[in-house]
């Protein structure tokens, strides 16, 4: 039973990055799930990750597309051929069981010359974002301080490379190659380029985040207003229902032909 997104979707986009299969994308009007990629998170979680983060609970199981665990784990294996799922994979069909170990990535071939620590860090950063992130609204990754950047340089004499902090890239400054100790002077105005680059980047980063947060605020406000209106309409329907039944009872009382009630003059009485 693949998961589907209903028309209640407010396009907040929270579900998209949570999907381990990249099955979610923005459709013409709302976010949509590709049923050929959705595994109901079988293989990764014992719950549907999109449903877990959706603020309006509009990621629901599709009653018209029923699939069993076997089909779903088969799909997960076909999509992620680099993952060994084993027999104790996570699955919503096994909810309540002792938690199964997370799916293990097959070790990737170590790139030549790349330190093992760097590869481990990459795998960690690719882990699915925690559901709790939605609560505190923290946005990853953080922006490094402007003076923490460095520029990779290659020494023209020994051809070795080394990192040089951007803050020291000033016209007239002497750079020393840490390998052969050859000195180089910063002649052109690279400093200006670096500062412009950093300024544009930091401003763009801020602007992007401000717009992103404003959009989320607006959508949440609209969503709350919609929910409040739905509640008011629902309450009004209930009031009308109560009025209606009261009116029906009043009508019944008015027309009730109680035993012993004198017959209206001229009317015909049986018996
Ligand atoms: S249920 Fe899981 S696999 Fe399916 S769309 Fe949602 S997050 Fe993706
Ligand atoms: S989390 Fe829910 S409301 Fe937000 S885009 Fe996904 S389906 Fe739509």
Ligand 2 atom nearest to 30, measured from its CA: 8
In the chain, which residue ranges form alpha helices assigned H by DSSP?
49-53, 69-79, 116-125, 133-136, 190-255
Q: Whose CA is nearest to atom 1 of ligand 1?
A: 40
pLDDT of residue 96: 55
pLDDT of residue 110: 36
pLDDT of residue 217: 85
Q: Does ligand 1 lie within 6 Å of residue 4's CB atom?
A: no
pLDDT of residue 137: 65
State the ligand closest to the CA atom of 41.
1
State the ligand closest to the CA atom of 19.
1
Round to whole Å and give the CA distance between 239 and 208: 46
- How many CA atoms does the CB half-sphere of 50 hold within 13 Å? 32
CA distances 92 to 61, 82, 207, 225, Å, are: 12, 22, 40, 33
pLDDT of residue 249: 94
Q: Does ligand 1 lie within 6 Å of residue 90's CB atom?
A: no
CA distances 43 to 49, 70, 171, 180, Å, are: 12, 11, 56, 52
Domain assignments of the chain as residue spans, ordered by start:
3-107, 146-255
Ligand 2 atom nearest to 53, measured from its CA: 1
Instruction: Give 228 Cα–ligand 1 centroid separation in angstroms.
Output: 29
Q: Whose CA is nearest to atom 4 of ligand 2?
A: 12
pLDDT of residue 65: 83
pLDDT of residue 132: 44
The second-level CATH assignment, the architecture, of 3-107 is 2-Layer Sandwich (3.30)
pLDDT of residue 264: 59
Pocket lining for ligand 2, CB < 6 angstroms: 5, 9-15, 31, 53-54, 56, 58-59
pLDDT of residue 85: 86
pLDDT tens, per residue, the chain with 271 residues:
689 999 989 999 999 999 999 999 999 899 999 999 999 999 999 889 999 998 888 999 888 888 889 999 999 999 998 888 888 888 888 765 544 334 433 333 333 333 333 333 333 333 344 444 454 567 888 888 888 899 898 998 999 999 988 888 877 888 889 999 988 887 767 778 888 899 999 999 999 988 988 888 888 888 888 889 889 999 999 999 999 999 999 999 888 887 776 665 555 544 4
């Amino acid at each position: 039973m693949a998961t589907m997104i209903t028309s209640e979707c407010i396009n907040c986009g929270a579900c998209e990055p949570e999907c381990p299969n990249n099955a979610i994308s923005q459709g013409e009007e709302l976010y949509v799930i590709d049923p050929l990629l959705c595994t109901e998170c079988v293989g990764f979680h014992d719950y549907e990750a999109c449903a877990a983060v959706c603020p309006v609970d509009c990621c629901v199981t599709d009653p018209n597309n029923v699939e069993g665990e076997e089909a779903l784990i088969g799909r997960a294996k076909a999509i992620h051929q680099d993952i060994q799922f084993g027999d104790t994979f996570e699955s919503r069909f096994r909810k309540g069981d002792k938690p199964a170990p997370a799916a293990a990535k097959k070790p990737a071939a170590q790139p030549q010359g790349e330190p093992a620590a760097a590869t481990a860090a990459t795998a960690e950063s690719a882990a699915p974002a925690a559901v709790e992130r939605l609560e505190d609204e923290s946005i990853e990754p953080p922006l490094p301080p402007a003076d923490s950047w460095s520029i990779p340089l290659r020494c023209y004499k020994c051809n070795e490379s080394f990192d040089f902090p951007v803050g020291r890239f000033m016209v007239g400054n002497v750079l020393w190659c840490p390998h052969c100790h050859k000195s180089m002077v910063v002649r052109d105005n690279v400093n200006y380029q670096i500062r412009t680059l950093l300024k544009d980047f930091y401003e763009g980063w801020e602007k992007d985040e401000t717009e992103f947060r404003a959009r989320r605020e607006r959508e949440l406000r609209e969503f709350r207003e919609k929910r409040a209106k739905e509640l008011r309409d629902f309450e009004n329907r209930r009031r009308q229902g109560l009025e209606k039944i009261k009116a029906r009872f009043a009508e019944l009382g008015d027309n009730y032909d109680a035993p012993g009630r004198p017959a209206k003059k001229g009317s015909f009485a049986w018996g």
